[in-house]
Amino acid sequence: MAELLRGERVTRLFGGLPAVDNLDFHIEEGEIVGLIGPNGAGKTTLVNLISGALAPTSGTIRLRGSVITGLPPHAVAARGIARTFQIARPFPNMTVRQNVVVGALFGAHHPRLGMAEALAKVDEVLEQVGLATKRDLLGSQLTVADRKRLEMAKALATSPKLLLLDEVMAGLNLAEIETVMALIGRLRSSGMTLLVIEHVMKAIMGVSDRMIVLHHGRKLAEGRPADVASNPDVLREYLGARYAARVGSPEEMRDAPS
């Protein structure tokens, strides 16, 4: 696989304290990378740095070899990187279709789409995420699960090469989680590359080809899900010493609570 994204010595300080600390990472085209770690490990900060919501204090991020470090979010999106947010905040007085159309109009489309083409793209994406029958509902009328789907739809409407998913399964029940996992699998099958933050261990291990574990902004471990699941440092730092002492297999890790 060809390399899609690379970060070198990426650091972000807040008040002199590192949220992301001298981090090297890469993502290959067509793979799903799971990003896990305790609360405050730097996961969302890393997504913010990649997507342009924050600029690194130091370090370099490259997309297909081209430096994107410090570009604003709209410029990063135009180059093919889209992201979701932990807390879904749709425009409450706009319909589902209207919420999504901005992404279709200003995403990584070359040349840019006209309104008719953008609306056609929106309808395609809403079908993809399971919101086609709710396209005329207002954002304020959606359930938590549907708001999560809307977050994904807004990102997908930009036609990204790389999709950054920040806890899209948080707050969902088991059936809803399985639906999102199936959608992630279909997106990868279509050729999309994904970086997925998730605390639901069974889900993140089920969809990831490779996993990166952050702790205090540094990389604690990296590798295949089975290898990460049996890593004693991950068990100790992520789930706690008492849990690590009684966990004996990767299978138990997969069933760990979120």
Residue 188 tokens read as 């990868």
| Gap between the Cα atoms of 242 and 85, Å rounded | 32
> Rounded to whole angstroms, how far apart are CA atoms 47 and 65?
18
Give the neighbor-by-neighbor strand order of the sheet with 17-28. 17-28, 3-14, 58-63, 66-67
Which pair of tokens denotes residue 150?
Answer: 């809307």
Distance in Å from the first CA to the final CA of the chain: 31
pLDDT in tens, 10-24: 999 999 999 999 999
**206: amino acid identity, one letter:** G
C-alpha distances out from residue 43 to 12, 26, 119, 129, 217, Å: 12, 15, 33, 25, 8
Output phi, psi for 6, to 5 deg.
-145, 135
Q: CB burial class (10 A; 0-12, 13-18, 19+) of residue 1?
A: exposed
pTM of the full structure: 0.89
Condensed to tens digits (0 to 9), the pLDDT of residues 29-66 reads 999 999 999 889 999 999 999 999 999 999 999 999 99
- The domains located in the chain, with CATH, are 31-53+70-210+222-254 (3.40.50.300)
Q: Which two tokens stand for residue 2?
A: 């060809």
Average predicted confidence (pLDDT) for the chain = 90
Structure tokens at 157: 């409407």
Euclidean distance between CA atoms 84 and 103, whole angstroms: 12
The full length of the chain comes to: 258
63-105 residue pLDDT tens = 999 999 989 999 999 999 999 998 888 999 999 999 999 888 8
Residue 217 · residue 13 · CB < 8 Å:
no
Inform me whether the pLDDT recorded for 244 exceeds 60.
no
